[in-house]
Amino acid sequence: MANKSAEILCIGTEILMGNIVNTNATYIARGLANLGINVYHQSVVGDNPERLRDSLRLAFSRADIVITTGGLGPTYDDLSKETIAGYFGRQLVLDPESLEKIEGYFRRSGRQMTENNKKQAYMPKDCTIFENKNGTAPGCAIEQDGKIAILLPGPPREMGPMFEHCVLPYLSRFQDTVLVSRNLHFFGIGESALEARLYGLMTGSTNPTVAPYAKTGEVMLRVTASVRREEDAPALIEPVIGQIKELAGEYLYGIDVGDLQTAAVRALMQKGLHAATAESCTGGLVSKRLTEVDGASRVFECGVCSYSCEMKEQLLGVRHETLAHFGAVSRECAREMAAGVRRLSGADIGVAVTGNAGPKASEEKPVGLVYVAVDSGRCREVLELQISREDDDAREYIRTIASSHALHLLLKAANEY
């Protein structure tokens, strides 16, 4: 049996009007790609039965599987289930088990269940029902004449877990092969420079494939093998990872590690180290990112966001002469901030950022000039960065890149400790 193809059809006037970003399509697309299911089209249509029917007919003329999101709510304008069941000539019938779960959901959340919520327990006849653990609307799959319609709720926090725990296992039954991926995370090298180094490998590999994904200031390489059984994947993937390490290993900061903050927190945990942050232009972004990671409290001591010069002196012990002579945006100030927060907190490693995130030049220092420092007692390092970007988002961009450098320095210092 060949791998199937799918389309994603998101239903909701609020997406058409641009009121919400369609993250559902991205989430589902990624899951299908991992499963090896080809997706050639995504579409969005409003809560309109006629247009929905047309879109459904078109989608099934091009693909085996159509996955819809949205329109499963309790109100009169939620029409996906009715319309799609009608498309397949099926009735909606009350599913007692779903009704019980909806009633239980309301009991647990202490809210009153209204009559229209009952509508959500009526499901297309003979469908496969997917339980909704984060809301009231169940999802379902309808199989007919070699086609499959999968109906999922619209809210991402309901759709995501249902897709992960119900839809992926359901769909994997139809696939001959599974895709197994490992993600290699790089920092300090651009996407095109990394591609240049790995060009032969990337264009020459078919199984596994090697594909780059850029995100702000970072590059991820995904190595993906297509195998019959998951346990066959390492034999294909590991040698390619070895080659990548040989060609660009100095920029690789982790494998399957998610992001810089997770890598940094894990490295600190592993060594039993504590860190502290001192921030100026990033305004708390470094500590915010570190404390996103579950378990950060075991390794993160404190963060000081010293926006004014007085606070840099008073709290972090940056010397008055340093500020007077070199200014707050200086190599010297960054170094003293890192040392200062380390001393103040008693942490093993202090990391500091000071710079000008714009929009205006200050102290005659250009926008985008940032100093990032780390101090672990054993090692001290200061980086000078000139981060350029000429648009409305420049401020957030500069702050994000600067915070990534700080996390990367922290990770390095932890690894070398």
* CA proximity to 372, closest of 393, 359, 386, 361: 386
408 φ/ψ sector (left φ>0, alpha ψ -120 to 50, else beta): alpha
Residue 8 near residue 38, CB atoms below 8 Å: no
What are the beta bridge partners of residue 382?
373
> What span, in angstroms and rounded, lies between the C-alpha atoms of 247 and 232?
25
Cβ-based neighbours of 231, under 8 Å, separated by 6 or more: none
Judged by beta carbon, residue 32 or residue 244, the one nearer a copy of itself is 32
Long-range contacts of 125-132 (CB under 8 A, 24+ apart): 125/85, 125/90, 125/91, 125/92, 125/93, 126/90, 127/90, 128/170, 129/95, 129/97, 129/98, 130/162, 130/166, 130/167, 130/170, 131/101, 131/162, 131/166, 132/101, 132/158, 132/162
Q: Which two tokens stand for residue 393?
A: 């988002």
Residues comprising the chain, all counted: 417
Q: How far is the CB of 33 from a copy of itself (least distance, A)?
A: 5
Q: Which two tokens stand for residue 51?
A: 């247009």
Judged by beta carbon, residue 10 or residue 127, the one nearer a copy of itself is 10
Q: Which two tokens stand for residue 134?
A: 């984060």
Q: How far is the CB of 168 from a copy of itself (least distance, A)?
A: 13
Judged by beta carbon, residue 214 or residue 379, the one nearer a copy of itself is 214
Residue 387 near residue 344, CB atoms below 8 Å: no
Judged by beta carbon, residue 15 or residue 244, the one nearer a copy of itself is 15
Q: How far is the CB of 244 from a copy of itself (least distance, A)?
A: 19
Judged by beta carbon, residue 301 or residue 332, the one nearer a copy of itself is 301
Q: DSSP secondary structure string, 89-141?
A: T--EEE-HHHHHHHHHHHHHHTPPPPGGGGGGGEEETTPEEE--TTSS--EEE
Judged by beta carbon, residue 132 or residue 322, the one nearer a copy of itself is 132
Q: How far is the CB of 160 from a copy of itself (least distance, A)?
A: 8
Q: How far is the CB of 19 from a copy of itself (least distance, A)?
A: 5
Judged by beta carbon, residue 40 or residue 229, the one nearer a copy of itself is 40
CA distances in angstroms from 219 to 29, 187, 253, 259, 387, listed in the order given: 20, 7, 11, 10, 17
Q: How far is the CB of 383 from a copy of itself (least distance, A)?
A: 20
Judged by beta carbon, residue 96 or residue 110, the one nearer a copy of itself is 110
Judged by beta carbon, residue 41 or residue 147, the one nearer a copy of itself is 41
Q: Which two tokens stand for residue 361?
A: 């030049």
Residue 220 near residue 183, CB atoms below 8 Å: yes
Q: How far is the CB of 313 from a copy of itself (least distance, A)?
A: 11
User: What is the residue type of 11?
Assistant: I
Q: How far is the CB of 379 from a copy of itself (least distance, A)?
A: 23
Q: How far is the CB of 156 from a copy of itself (least distance, A)?
A: 9
Judged by beta carbon, residue 127 or residue 281, the one nearer a copy of itself is 281
Q: How far is the CB of 350 from a copy of itself (least distance, A)?
A: 13
Judged by beta carbon, residue 27 or residue 122, the one nearer a copy of itself is 27
Q: How far is the CB of 167 from a copy of itself (least distance, A)?
A: 14
CA dihedral over 36, 37, 39, 43, signed as positive or negative: negative
